[in-house]
Chains A and B, each alone.
Chain A
Amino acid sequence: MRDAEAGLKSLIPEAEVFEHNPKRLHISIPRERLTEAAKYLHRERGMRLATCTGIDTRAGLEVLYHFSEDKTGTMYTLRVLAPKDDPRLESQASWFPATDWIEREMHELLGIDFPGHPNLVPLLTSDTDWDREKYPLRRDYERRNEAHER
């Protein structure tokens, strides 16, 4: 039972920890406790945010915050679920600049809203011809196979 893991469990009792292997831990926490957990891992434990992954699953929009504890080389992944009908997550960009770009990317490619983000403008997609309602990384995005068209 690593102390970071113990500290997190004491902070958020309802967190379930799944140990994929000694260096990869996945911790599922409710959506509301995200900021608390992230602040604990970054500020108290001094972990570095590798990146965040947004996945469109049947259960809803799942977002993984990958924190890396560089001293021991272990990866702590916070797993948060936002329901499809209300894709909203608290933005960490105000206190943690590293999440600024990745939240903007998830916003434009997956349609997750991040209230509290300083400037939630598109990061990667074109400024001229891009349909803001369509999210490419969602499962329902229609895939055109150019190979057959030609």
Chain B
Amino acid sequence: MKDPRIWGLKKSPWVYHLAAASCNNCDIEVLELLTPRYDVERFGIVLVGSPRHADALLVTGVINRKSLPRVLEVYEQTPKPCLVIGVGTCTCNNHIFLNSYNAVGPYDKYLPVNAYVPGCPPKPEAMILGVVKALSKL
């Protein structure tokens, strides 16, 4: 067993869903992970209600000016070590909103992002793969 800390994190990643200026398609797909068809609880993944309990931040959307301070605040509140997993192409490279005056850039400008799940919206299977890959990289 390598570092037990990492084993713990790998086996029970608690996820907090953070949506900043997203079109809600990825958010709906994130919710679909809980429904019987995909059921992420078999990997120990639980959706928690507060960043304090979270190990992984599932972020969606291209951050806009109004939600940027709040996004940074939530990241600061999450106890480290914590993963940041970007769901959807918006989190990878601002996607089609690159030149918008209100989109202030993908997450990796502000937060260390561990995994990107491209796709608009990514299929639920791709999201599960994203979380698993992020965990295996630890």
What 0/1 pattern do residues 34 to 72 of B give for CB contact below 8 A with A? 000000000000000000000000000000111011000
| Residues in chain A near residue B136, CB distance under 8 A | none
Number of B residues, CB within 8 Å of A: 11
> Is residue A143 within 8 Å, beta carbon to beta carbon, of the partner chain?
yes
Which among A127, A128, A130, A146 is the interface contact of B98 at CB below 8 angstroms? A146
Q: Across the interface, do B65 and A130 meet the contact criterion of CB distance under 8 Å?
A: yes
Q: Across the interface, do A125 and B102 meet the contact criterion of CB distance under 8 Å?
A: yes
> Is residue A116 within 8 Å, beta carbon to beta carbon, of the partner chain?
no
Q: Across the interface, do A127 and B66 meet the contact criterion of CB distance under 8 Å?
A: yes
Q: Across the interface, do B102 and A143 meet the contact criterion of CB distance under 8 Å?
A: no
| Residues in chain B near residue A141, CB distance under 8 A | 101
Q: Across the interface, do A125 and B65 meet the contact criterion of CB distance under 8 Å?
A: yes
State the main secondary structure of chain A at its contact with B.
loop
Number of A residues, CB within 8 Å of B: 14
* Closest A residue, CB atoms, query B94: A146
| Residues in chain A near residue B105, CB distance under 8 A | 146
What CA separation (Å) do A144 and B68 show in the bound complex? 19
| Residues in chain B near residue A146, CB distance under 8 A | 94, 98-99, 105
Q: Across the interface, do A126 and B101 meet the contact criterion of CB distance under 8 Å?
A: no
| Residues in chain A near residue B94, CB distance under 8 A | 146
B87 → A minimal CB distance (Å): 22
What CA separation (Å) do A130 and B102 show in the bound complex? 9
A82 → B minimal CB distance (Å): 23
Q: Across the interface, do A126 and B99 meet the contact criterion of CB distance under 8 Å?
A: no
| Residues in chain A near residue B102, CB distance under 8 A | 124-126, 136
B73 → A minimal CB distance (Å): 12
B91 → A minimal CB distance (Å): 16
What CA separation (Å) do A63 and B75 show in the bound complex? 42
What 0/1 pattern do residues 90 to 125 of B give for CB contact below 8 A with A? 000010001101100100000000000000000000
What CA separation (Å) do A40 and B9 show in the bound complex? 66
What 0/1 pattern do residues 138 to 150 of A give for CB contact below 8 A with B? 0001011111000
Measured CB to CB, the residues of A under 8 A from B are 124-130, 136, 141, 143-147
Query: Nearest 7 CB-CB pairs, A to B?
Result: A126-B65, A126-B66, A136-B101, A146-B98, A145-B99, A129-B65, A147-B98
